[in-house]
Amino acid sequence: MLAAFGFGATEIIIICAAVLILFGAKKIPEFMKGLGTGVKEFKKATREVTEEIQNAAEDKPAQQNKIASSQPAQTVPQSNPPKA
């Protein structure tokens, strides 16, 4: 994946060393744990929204059938048009 951006092994090592120097060895595991928790929460929210949309799509036809069957059929009296 990183090869697509033109990063080689040397560049990756330099980036990792810079991150280690900037954040320290103690902060990196905390950062990764927080990142993992965030990704897990995002996936959970995405799954819940998808399920909600699917449930709404499944309930809509059932509700329409319920409404249609609960309403009595209306008949419209037909009148003959006046003859001229």
Inform me whether the pLDDT recorded for 18 exceeds 80: yes
Measured from the Cβ of residue 7, the count of other Cβ atoms closer than 10 Å reads 13
Query: Between residues 60 and 38, which one has the greater pLDDT?
Result: 38
Cβ-contact 39, 49 below 8 angstroms: no
Tell me: the pLDDT tens digits for 54-68? 988 887 766 665 655
Query: Between residues 66 and 22, which one has the greater pLDDT?
Result: 22
Find where tokens 């120097």 sit.
Answer: 21
pTM of the predicted protein model: 0.47
Inform me whether the pLDDT recorded for 48 exceeds 60: yes
DSSP 76: -
Q: How far apart are CA 46 and CA 76, in angstroms?
A: 49
Inform me whether the pLDDT recorded for 50 exceeds 90: yes
- Token pair for residue 61? 């036809």
Domain ranges of the chain: 25-63
